[in-house]
Structure 1
Amino acid sequence: MAGRDPERARGPERPARAVVIGGSVAGSLAAAALADRFGEVVVLDRDAFPEAPAQRAGVPQGAHFHALLAAGRQAMDALLPGFSAQMLEMGAADLDSTADVMRLDRLGWSPRFATSLRFLMASRPLIEWVLRDRASHLPGVTFRSRSDVAGLLGDATRVTGVRLASGEEIVADFVVDASGRRARTPDWFAELGAPAPSEELVNAHWGYASTFLRVPDGWDPGFRALACVPFGEGALTPESERRAMAMWVVEGENRWVLTVQGSAGDYPPRDVDDLKAFVASIGAPELSGALDAVEFPEKIALWRDTTNRLRDFAGHDGRPERFVALGDAWAAFNPVYGQGMTSAALQAQALGDQLATHLAGGGDLDGLADRFYAATRELVDFCWSSSTALDHRLPGVEVTRDGEPQEVVAGSADHGDRVAAWASLDPERYVRYRETTQLLRSNAWLQAPEVVAEIQERWDELGAMVTAR
């Protein structure tokens, strides 16, 4: 495939086989990361793969909105060159992340002006299908559907393959678990005699109601994406403290996706009229007005599996060699914050880079997991802290660690709100801030002494901007 380095695929050092558990977004990206360095990459999934972009049973969240951050798009193009081009050919929309988007949060409506910071808008089924299509054409990569992995082969020190529910055993030099937020890795470790990683859960009891919309010919509401997040403390209405919505253009003629969200157990309804009333209760006429001219031709899907879950593989000394968990199998973030696909793409890219460096040293695959987790831990920690910090604002949030309830100490949002307010006052600075939220830029620049000092000096001024809509 164009863009890949043929020299990397040569040489006697190539291990024979890698197995990837899960053939969705993270699994396809993991296969792409491994393809240059293994003679064979086998991707296993319990579900049946559709021949065209379509919702499938194994991805119940696929009917809901999915945000592909700019860094995720960039990583996917690096792993699978031509990804963006194929997406656009199949109808995905290319948006200016500032000019084309109306976003309402605690600071009011975000600034809108033209930038070069662009991202793709598309349905989850299209994103997944294009990734799998491109990965399946890589030399040595094979996707096997209806192949349910029931356990790992090996022992407490090293994984040597997988065992299917059918009884078939597949020997492998390296195994990647990309099976999603329902990954059974702790149970598989226990069967090998290895300790399970520590696990933390943060549940703000979110629920989704989503459907695809039909908009009129020539419809121009003044945006191509509209989003509102829960305001938390200081909301203008009691409902807007915990309710949210987003809608944007996706592939297909006159086709948009709508997802309405409620937290703290305040779940959105399935009935169309009730759903419109739910949106209107947020108190922003622009949100409810956006639904006045659209049609609801499809059923409304509900989903409530939104718990943040972090399994501490990076800090787990007892994990066996030649195995890594990637994507939601490692860290599953509340999907309302749109970090999951991008985090998985960046992890896969790091896996490929660390694999190349590791094998260049002439050793075997032992120690590769250590390299991978060291290279990606900061990314996962950043996504985890930002996602859970926002959920900690919401009433009724529950936190457990290794099954034990933890005292919930609501973190202060004062500093984060003022950083956002400070960034919004200058267009260049705001673009840098958006690059940070899109995971293109480290947040280190926001921790520079001069930035911290300026925010402290203007504390009251910036604080007056919060919830002053």
Structure 2
Amino acid sequence: MTASALPRRAIVIGGGLAAMLTAQALSTRIEVVVIERDTLPEGPLHRKNLPQAHHVHHLWAGGAEAIETILPGTLKALTAAGARRIPLTTGMVALSPQGWFRRWDESHYTIACHRDLLDWVVRDQVLKADDGRVTVMQGTEVLGLTGSAEEVTGVHIRHADGSEDTLSATLVVDAGGRGSRTPHWLADLGARPPATRRVDSGLVYASVLCQEPPGLPESWPIINIQAAPRSGRPGQTGVILPIENGRWLVTLSGTRGGEPTGDLAEFTEFALGLRHPLIGELLGKATPLGPVHVTRMTANHRHYYERSRLPENLLVVGDAVAAFNPLYGHGMSVAAQSALTLYRAVRRHGCDTPGLLRRVQKDIARHVDTAWTFAVGTDVLYDGATEGGPTASERLSARFVDRLTRTATGSGRMARALTDVMVLQKGPQRLLRPAALVSAARGPLKPPLTGPPLSPEERRAIDDA
């Protein structure tokens, strides 16, 4: 079937955040069918095949602004549902590998809420927009792609009752997450699967939902204790993320030999053993609201589709392209910025321009590159993360990031530049500008902090809790 004979329909595989934002991006020019194997909840409830939703997620400013461009009103809807807008770096108490960061005046922000709430708000916004141009086939599994190595023409599906069918489309987008089967489907079509890269520090995540202690200031900060990968010890971290309804989402993590467990009795003990005990001390004053949830699927895994000659009419986005160690919380924001890149491309060129999706695939690799640099730059330093250990360039890059981070602990200018990149509002080239390089060469302008930069009000609240 030629492209001109295909039905005017786009298929998006997956029903998560990346899929819904991609569907919205396409719906400005074409009807979209989202194919999801689960039954999606009608509210901010947990979805079976999204275990990572139990852990801390950040929607950084770069991702939040991308969502707002594609789907205006979403940030207002999130706030109305209880999500918190936390200013950065004002609203974060963070111990970096190079020391405590200062809490500079607001220059950026993050949206903090439970992942289930975020997914539901975005899904609700998409499905009530554009007069039904996006529909969802739930309980349906995609078995493979149809077409050839030159052109994808649709998907082969299996319904909940076991019956199978073929659904044709103008274009197909895989937003199916870490479990994406596209490399295998490409091989079935006779196309060459993409090159891949895997960096696995053996990180284990454990999280619990807590009721925050009474009497805390409304603007309670994020607490973030990071690992020191050059210490020769397993990398152990902890985060307290204030979310909706006066709750904390607390996530602890550890690499090989230093993993947290699912035992609630050991949770606070693990937190007290981090590089600073602040999170453990705060946990002792909070009330757990459920069990500890543990996830071990945290390896960095990237498919270099932008370097492949993909069949016409096929695009891969989100975790199906690159799944990151969740430590930096970049996955959702990369997915949002990728959807924005697609949104702009189809609004400018329509959906029928030959080679359009191949160009979009190359363009979204820029967003992936930034997050990949942060995630792999740390994980690659741990024993066993890769077969051959870090490359010379990766070691050099890690040293450079160490220098930037140390400078940022005592330089507002460098902290601003580093946060520009961290929240995905700027690319890594921001850190190579002359002013940033001069700041890095000069080093921190203020002496290192000797403890967490809590305000007097925050300290009193902790003492009184």
TM-score of the two chains, using structure 2 as the length reference: 0.89
Partner of 2:372: 384
Partner of 1:70: 61
8 A contact 2:97–2:228 mirrored in 1: yes
CA RMSD of aligned residues (A): 2.5
Partner AA of 2:238 in structure 1: M
1:130 is paired with a residue of what secondary structure? helix
Partner AA of 2:196 in structure 1: E
Pairs within 5 Å for 1:240-251:
241-251=234-244
**Do the aligned partners of residues 287 and 184 (structure 1) sit closer, same or farther apart at CA in structure 2, a change above 3 Å counting?**
same
**Do the aligned partners of residues 111 and 390 (structure 1) sit closer, same or farther apart at CA in structure 2, a change above 3 Å counting?**
same
Partner AA of 1:29 in structure 2: L
Equivalent residue in structure 2 for 1:19, among 4, 7, 11: 11
Pairs within 5 Å for 1:106-185:
106-139=97-130, 140-165=133-158, 166-185=163-182
Structure 1 position 222, deviation (Å): 8.2
8 A contact 1:421–1:465 mirrored in 2: no
Provide, for residues 388-438 of structure 1, a one-character-per-residue CA deviation record: whole Å limited to 9, x for no partner.
Answer: 11101223312xxxxxx4454461432211112223433244223212211
Partner AA of 1:273 in structure 2: A
1:46 is paired with a residue of what secondary structure? coil
Partner of 1:446: 431
Partner AA of 2:121 in structure 1: V
1:133 is paired with a residue of what secondary structure? helix
TM-score of the two chains, using structure 1 as the length reference: 0.88
2 CA distance for matches of 1:144 and 1:32? 16
2 CA distance for matches of 1:203 and 1:111? 31
Matched, 1:357 2:348: yes
Aligned length: 439
1 CA distance for matches of 2:185 and 2:126? 27
Partner of 2:362: 374
2 CA distance for matches of 1:233 and 1:406? 18
Partner of 1:411: 395
8 A contact 1:417–1:466 mirrored in 2: no
1:47 is paired with a residue of what secondary structure? coil
Equivalent residue in structure 2 for 1:264, among 249, 256, 263: 256
1:302 is paired with a residue of what secondary structure? strand
Partner of 1:279: 271
Provide, for residues 235-264 of structure 1, a one-character-per-residue CA deviation record: whole Å limited to 9, x for no partner.
Answer: 7xx4xx510011121112x31111110112
1 CA distance for matches of 2:96 and 2:345? 38
1 CA distance for matches of 2:428 and 2:47? 37
Partner AA of 2:267 in structure 1: L
2 CA distance for matches of 1:368 and 1:310? 22
1:277 is paired with a residue of what secondary structure? helix
2 CA distance for matches of 1:215 and 1:468? 22
Equivalent residue in structure 1 for 2:321, among 321, 330, 338: 330
Deviates most, 386-395 or 409-418: 409-418
2:123 is paired with a residue of what secondary structure? helix
2 CA distance for matches of 1:64 and 1:144? 27
2 CA distance for matches of 1:468 and 1:138? 48
**Do the aligned partners of residues 450 and 95 (structure 1) sit closer, same or farther apart at CA in structure 2, a change above 3 Å counting?**
closer
1:194 is paired with a residue of what secondary structure? coil
Provide, for residues 8-56 of structure 1, a one-character-per-residue CA deviation record: whole Å limited to 9, x for no partner.
Answer: xxxx9x9710000001010000001100010x10001000100111111
Structure 1 position 134, deviation (Å): 0.8
2 CA distance for matches of 1:384 and 1:232? 17
Structure 1 position 309, deviation (Å): 0.8
Partner AA of 1:61 in structure 2: Q
Partner of 1:42: 33
Give the percent of matched residue pairs that are identical in Structure 1 and Structure 2: 31
**Which structure 2 segments of 5+ residues have no match?**
453-465
Structure 1 position 223, deviation (Å): 3.5
8 A contact 2:89–2:107 mirrored in 1: no
**Which structure 1 segments of 5+ residues have no match?**
1-11, 399-404
